[in-house]
């Protein structure tokens, strides 16, 4: 009589529960890194996934067996047109010990961009009257005074920025994505001056990141709909040559119905989850799209027309999906320069 196995490893990580659909298409970071720079800067950016290709580059990882040699590297292409800061939000600790917005300041220089989003489209019609515009500017000038008077209470500043999907015709949308991006580095007074200086002006990715550095990628994975336990959790299918009155692609008991909740695999939503990928290296930041565009454009995307970046390896999400790029919260290594690229593949991509 054979030995009966009474235990098996857990299928699927319990740290990724609940496996449900993401509440937003472009998630923002829950945690921001602390940087030691004396000059304030934004800690994030937003790009749109284009597709993948490959490059040949000189390996500059220290202690690598191929250090100094030419290696093959798959890369992901992201199109990153400039973003526009619209408003400044100041956060201070409330009575419960949690940071909350104490006020929001809109600069007169950012009012010209109100037409780019439908969320505040009615406000743009209101401000076409010169008298209404004057009242609007007076209202927010008092909010700026409130920020300056409470500078010692403020824990951090964030900018409400808008992307410019109009510059990417292949996306097929005009309404921008609005996200909050935290300001890091420097003192609070320097951060406030930096925010007031960039409101209403375009910020390029070169103002936030540099070639060769590591970043974190935050986004939503590909959605695959409702799936069973075999596909969702890699549960071993029961042998089909026995009689299975309840089916072979199912689990046995679901555990106790009372007491501690069970982590037994069950069918449900697969994909379209919020996820974070850490320490993805920026191989290249380029402005000449001819360097990467294949003949006829990328499959299911089209032609890149704006600034682009090449990220090492693959990233989550489907093509045309907005991706949030953040300064690394736990960098594994700090590179001093970008790698030397010897070849970029621009042949037509299949599939």
The Cα 14–Cα 284 span in angstroms is 36
Strands 341-344, 84-93: pairing is unpaired
* Locus of tokens 């045309």: 320
Are 103 and 193 in contact, with CB atoms under 8 Å apart?
A: no
Please give the pLDDT value at position 338.
Answer: 94
- Give helix 188-198 / helix 130-149 axis angle, nearest 10°: 160
**pLDDT tens-digit profile of 222-238?**
999 999 999 998 888 88
Residue-level pLDDT, tens digit, the chain, 351 residues? 455 555 666 666 767 888 899 999 999 999 999 998 899 999 999 999 999 999 999 999 999 999 999 999 999 999 999 999 999 999 998 878 889 999 999 877 776 666 555 445 455 555 666 776 677 777 777 888 889 998 999 999 999 999 999 999 999 998 899 999 999 999 999 999 999 999 989 999 999 999 999 999 999 999 999 999 999 988 888 877 666 677 888 887 776 655 555 678 889 999 999 999 999 999 999 999 999 999 989 999 999 999 999 999 999 999 999 999 999 999 999 998 999 999 999 986 654
Please give the pLDDT value at position 194.
Answer: 96
User: Around 204, how many Cα atoms within 13 Å sit in the side-chain half-sphere?
Assistant: 9
The Cα 133–Cα 107 span in angstroms is 12
Please give the pLDDT value at position 265.
Answer: 84
Q: Which fold has domain 83-203?
A: Ribosomal Protein L3; Chain: B; domain 2, (3.30.1430)
User: Around 319, how many Cα atoms within 13 Å sit in the side-chain half-sphere?
Assistant: 17
Please give the pLDDT value at position 299.
Answer: 93
Query: 341 forms bridges with which residues in the sheet?
Result: 57
Angle at 348 between CA 343 and CA 351, to 5 degrees: 120
The Cα 310–Cα 16 span in angstroms is 28
Structure letter (DSSP) for residue 340: P
Of 4, 5, 22, 11, which Cα lies nearest the Cα of 274? 22
**Domains of the chain by residue range:** 18-81+208-235+267-351, 83-203
Sequence-distant (≥ 6) Cβ neighbours of residue 335 within 8 angstroms: 60, 212, 213, 214, 281
Alpha-carbon distance values, 228 to 153, 160, 232, 249, 275 (Å): 51, 40, 6, 8, 21
Q: Is the dihedral of CA 336, 340, 345, 350 positive or negative?
A: negative
Sequence-distant (≥ 6) Cβ neighbours of residue 283 within 8 angstroms: 55, 57, 73, 75, 211, 212, 309, 310, 311, 312, 338, 339, 341
The Cα 142–Cα 148 span in angstroms is 10
Please give the pLDDT value at position 94.
Answer: 84
Question: Taking the complete model, does pTM exceed 0.85, yes or no?
Answer: yes
CB burial readout 269-294, b (16+ within 10 A) else e: bbbbbbebbebbbbbbbbeeeeebbb
**Structure-token pair, residue 24:** 């937003």
Residue 310 DSSP SS3: strand
Transcribe 166-189 into DSSP letters.
GG-GGG---SPPEEEEEEESS-HH
The Cα 82–Cα 203 span in angstroms is 5
Are 109 and 201 in contact, with CB atoms under 8 Å apart?
A: yes
Of 230, 197, 164, 271, which Cα lies nearest the Cα of 41? 197
CATH number, domain 18-81+208-235+267-351: 2.40.30.10
Are 68 and 78 in contact, with CB atoms under 8 Å apart?
A: no
């Amino acid at each position: 009589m054979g030995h009966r196995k009474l235990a098996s490893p857990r299928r699927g990580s319990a740290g990724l529960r609940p496996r449900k659909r993401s509440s937003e298409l472009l998630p923002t970071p829950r945690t921001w890194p602390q940087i030691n720079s004396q000059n304030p800067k934004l800690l994030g950016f937003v790009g749109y996934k284009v597709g993948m290709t490959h490059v040949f580059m000189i390996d500059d990882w220290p202690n690598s067996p191929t250090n100094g040699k030419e290696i093959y590297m798959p890369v992901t292409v992201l199109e990153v047109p400039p973003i526009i800061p619209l408003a400044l939000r100041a956060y201070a600790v409330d009575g419960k010990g949690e940071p909350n917005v104490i006020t929001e300041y809109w600069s007169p220089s950012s009012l010209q961009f109100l037409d780019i989003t439908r969320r505040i489209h009615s406000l743009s019609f209101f401000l076409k009257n010169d008298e209404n515009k004057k009242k609007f500017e007076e209202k927010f000038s008092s909010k700026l005074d409130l920020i300056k008077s409470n500078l010692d209470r403020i824990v951090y500043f964030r900018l409400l920025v808008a992307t410019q999907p109009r510059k990417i015709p292949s996306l097929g949308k005009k309404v921008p994505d609005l996200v909050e991006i935290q300001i890091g580095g420097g003192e609070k007074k320097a951060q406030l001056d930096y925010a007031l200086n960039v409101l209403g002006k375009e910020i390029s990715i070169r103002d936030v990141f540099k070639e060769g550095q590591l970043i974190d990628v935050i986004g939503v994975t590909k959605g695959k709909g409702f799936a069973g336990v075999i596909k969702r959790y890699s549960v071993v299918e029961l042998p089909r040559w026995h009689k299975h009155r309840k089916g072979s692609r199912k689990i046995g008991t679901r555990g106790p119905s009372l007491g501690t909740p069970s982590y037994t695999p069950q069918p449900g939503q697969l994909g379209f989850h919020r996820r974070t990928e850490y320490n993805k290296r920026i191989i290249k930041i380029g402005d000449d799209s001819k360097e990467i565009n294949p003949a006829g454009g990328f499959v299911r995307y089209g032609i890149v027309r704006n600034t682009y970046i090449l990220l090492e390896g693959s990233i989550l999400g489907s093509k045309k999906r907005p991706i949030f790029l953040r300064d690394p919260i736990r960098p594994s290594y700090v590179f001093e320069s970008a790698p030397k690229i010897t070849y970029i593949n621009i042949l037509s991509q299949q599939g």
